[in-house]
């Protein structure tokens, strides 16, 4: 059975609900054609912005040189055909570039208040999503991807592929 194509609002709600259910992902960066993936804990802010708190690491240097990132959040594999997840493509900025991001993250992500005692000395990465790819192949194994791009949903059609080449 083929996945039902969702409306923009349905897709956005499914993505938001999924991101709220989870808290960990893998942040991919790339510098000098060398890709890197880092395990991260994230917090969902307003407008689907993602906030990542971290003690540091090479991802901050990578983002300074190349702000294009991808955050992968997914369930465990059931088998080779069944998984649910999102890939969030966008641009990132860090609290090294914009020191106010730490306060912004605390204001938008209320659950950080519970962890306030753990936050001293941490830095922030803010991911501004440009495109989100949603896949839910749990159940029947249908691997139809759905795309939320610049506040509109598009399916995996030639229209999407043509737009992506521009």
Return the domain boundaries, the chain. Answer: 8-165
- Per residue in 63-92, pLDDT (tens digit) is 999 999 999 999 998 788 889 999 999 999
State pLDDT tens for residues 23-71.
999 999 999 999 999 999 999 998 899 999 999 999 999 999 999 999 9
Give the confidence band of 114 by pLDDT, cuts at 50, 70, 90: low
Q: Which residues lie below 8 Å from residue 64, measured CB to CB, with a gap of 6+?
A: 94, 96, 97
148 pLDDT more than 80: yes
pLDDT at 145 over 50: yes
Question: What confidence tier does 161 reach under pLDDT thresholds 50, 70, 90?
Answer: very low
Tell whether the torsion through CA atoms of 31, 37, 124 and 164 is positive or negative. positive
pLDDT at 166: 35
CB half-sphere exposure, 40, CA atoms < 13 A: 33
| pLDDT of 157 strictly over 80 | no
Q: What is the DSSP letter of 116?
A: G
Q: What is the pTM of this model?
A: 0.84
Any idea which fold 8-165 has?
Pnp Oxidase; Chain A (2.30.110)
DSSP for 26-72?
EEEEEETTEEEEEEEEEEE-GGG-EEEEES--HHHHHHHH--EEEEE
Residue % of the chain over a pLDDT of 70 = 81
What is the predicted pLDDT for the residue at 106? Answer: 82
CB-based contact 54:122 (threshold 8 Å)? yes
Question: Tell me, what DSSP letter sits at residue 82?
Answer: B
Q: Which of 22, 63, 27, 50 is nearest to 126 (CA)?
A: 50
């Amino acid at each position: 059975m083929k996945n039902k194509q969702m409306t923009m609002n349905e897709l956005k709600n499914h993505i938001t609900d999924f991101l709220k259910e989870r808290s960990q992902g893998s942040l991919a960066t790339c510098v000098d054609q060398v890709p890197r993936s880092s395990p991260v804990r994230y917090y969902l802010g307003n407008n689907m912005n993602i906030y990542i708190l971290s003690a540091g690491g090479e991802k901050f240097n990578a983002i300074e040189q190349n702000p294009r990132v991808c955050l992968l959040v997914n369930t465990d594999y059931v088998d080779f055909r069944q998984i649910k997840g999102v890939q969030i493509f966008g641009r990132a900025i860090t609290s090294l570039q914009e020191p106010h991001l730490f306060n912004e993250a605390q204001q938008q992500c209320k659950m950080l208040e519970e962890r306030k005692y753990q936050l001293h000395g941490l830095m922030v990465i803010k991911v501004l999503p440009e495109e989100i790819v949603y896949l839910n192949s749990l159940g029947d194994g249908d691997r139809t991807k759905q795309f939320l791009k610049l506040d509109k949903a598009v399916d995996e059609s030639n229209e999407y592929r043509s737009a992506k080449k521009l």
